[in-house]
Structure 1
Amino acid sequence: LKETCIWIPLCCICLEEFARPASLPCGHRFCLSCIGEYWRIHGACRCPLCKAFFPTRPPLNAAQTHGAGVPTEEEEAPPLKAGEVPCDLCPAKRRAVKSCLACLASYCAAHLEPHYQREDLGRHLLINVVKNLEDPACGLHGKQLQKFCRSDRTCICAMCAQTEHRGHHIVSIHREATKMKVKSGETSPPSTLKG
């Protein structure tokens, strides 16, 4: 069940409504002056949210600057490539960049921003995009994701637990999701996650 709510997009640097919003190549948006100052202070062109690094200062021209924080229905989305997952909130079905295990939804960069800005959503467990959140599979081994690596903060399969994540702090997805729900104030464990 998706809730309808009014969301005013905010710049996550100044926490104000966007003033001359600028979109980075990774899709995250900030006030033009805020991102410029952030890069000046940190001495590198890096996205404050996803930490994407840009070796040279990316151009922030009219083609990348939008009047609102979230893409409108009229804005054309590039067609999805084979295997890409669409955003569950976009009428235009933009490419999803993360999936949320608490919401059981996948989001494009613009619709993911509330998960970085709102404290309650910030506690949700974000994972790399998966097609079927009811039964996500490992992209490396094709096996069901049943474990959570706390060391790397990612969902993994049993095979990953024995190889790439050997020696890491690993728990069941169900246990981690329950912990995240308790932290966010919800008491019932998620019924769709098995592990």
Structure 2
Amino acid sequence: MASAQQLLRLTEEVICPICLDFFTDPVTLDCGHNFCRSCITQSWEKKEINSCPECREVFPERNLRVNRAIANLAEEARKLKLYPKEKESKPHCEKHQRELKLFCDTDRKLICVMCVTAPEHREHRFIQIQEGVKVYKAKLKSSLDSLT
């Protein structure tokens, strides 16, 4: 029987170093490092250079090879719920890879602090997530009360 320490080490092997979650559609770079396809693609789009976020090796072409073995292991780990609670990643912005900390009241969606300055959010109203939760809980309670 595997010890908790061994399971933890195995679990760490199926976690993407960019999003810190189980691999989703894992790919391998020419240097041998693995990432979620969307994570490495977004990383490269931001930097406008094809380099490995771990070893910094630069690649002239975007050569991404599917890693089915890691995909299968990540799926099994996900099914077994092996991911430790303290390492759970918080929701993050797909555009900036930052934690979502604000609520855009105008668009009614969570955003990161970098999105506040984006043209699509210019002149929008922002509130803390906790404040938004209170507001929408009150609205939900009011709606439920009127239904009952």
Q: Which has the larger radius of gyration?
A: 2
Relative to the length of structure 1, the TM-score reads 0.31
Q: Which has the higher contact order (CA 8 A, sep 6+)?
A: 2
Relative to the length of structure 2, the TM-score reads 0.40
Which structure shows the bigger proportion of residues in helix conformation? 2
